[in-house]
Amino acid sequence: MIATLSFYLFATLAILSAILVVFARNPVHSVLWLIVTFFNAAGLMILLGAEFIAILVILVYVGAVAVLFLFIVMMLDIDFAALRSGFTQNLPFGILIALVLLSEMAIAVIAGRSGPVIAEAPPETGQSNIEAFGELLYSRFLVPFELSGLILLVALIGAVVLTHRSRGDQRPQKISKQVARDPKEAIQLKQPESGKGVEL
């Protein structure tokens, strides 16, 4: 009974917050409602017994993506009034896309009813979902996992290269020349005692 009520609570809040993400006039409020949607989705995952997926949703989507969106929206000076000026022109295309998505969802629901109502339960292995997920990830899907890591590494290097721009008015630090310098030719700053000069 409690699980059923919790499911309806999380599902209702997720749907309402997702609707508010779309219809919120303030983009900051829209991102905040998106965070609420992710938390409710994580609650649904916990009810389904997928605790690891729920933790990933909170850490990745809430802790990284949504917070990044929030900082971008707050830092960028975007004229949203100018963006909303063409709303009426694009309204027919939006309605058409919404009708297509609704028809696809209706087809999926109708086709799903014709199939088996209850799926066969997997055999009991004595493992938690986190252990089963890790075993599959590092055995059967090891190559795709490593390739995804390489893709993320390339994206990280590309972001560093794009943001690291040398300007003419800056004096960059050259560590190799500093390490290879001769101490006798280096200029040292000394603090002389009060009332005494500096010996050369």
Q: What pLDDT score was predicted for residue 176?
A: 80
CB 43 within 8 A of CB 10: yes
Whole-number Å distance between alpha carbons of 33 and 70: 11
Helix (H) or strand (E) holding 196: none
* pLDDT number for residue 53: 86
Residues 95 and 128: their CA atoms lie apart, in Å, by: 44
1-76 — its CATH code? 1.20.120.1200
Q: What is the pLDDT of residue 153?
A: 93
Ranges of the chain whose pLDDT falls below 50? none
Instruction: Name residues whose C-beta falls within 8 Å of residue 45's C-beta, 6 or more positions apart in sequence.
Output: 51, 53, 54, 57
Q: Give the domain ranges of the chain.
A: 1-76, 132-160
What is the pTM assigned to this prediction?
0.56
Per-residue pLDDT at 109: 80
pLDDT of residue 92: 85
Q: CA of 38: how far to CAs of 35, 48, 121, 182, in Å?
A: 5, 15, 28, 58
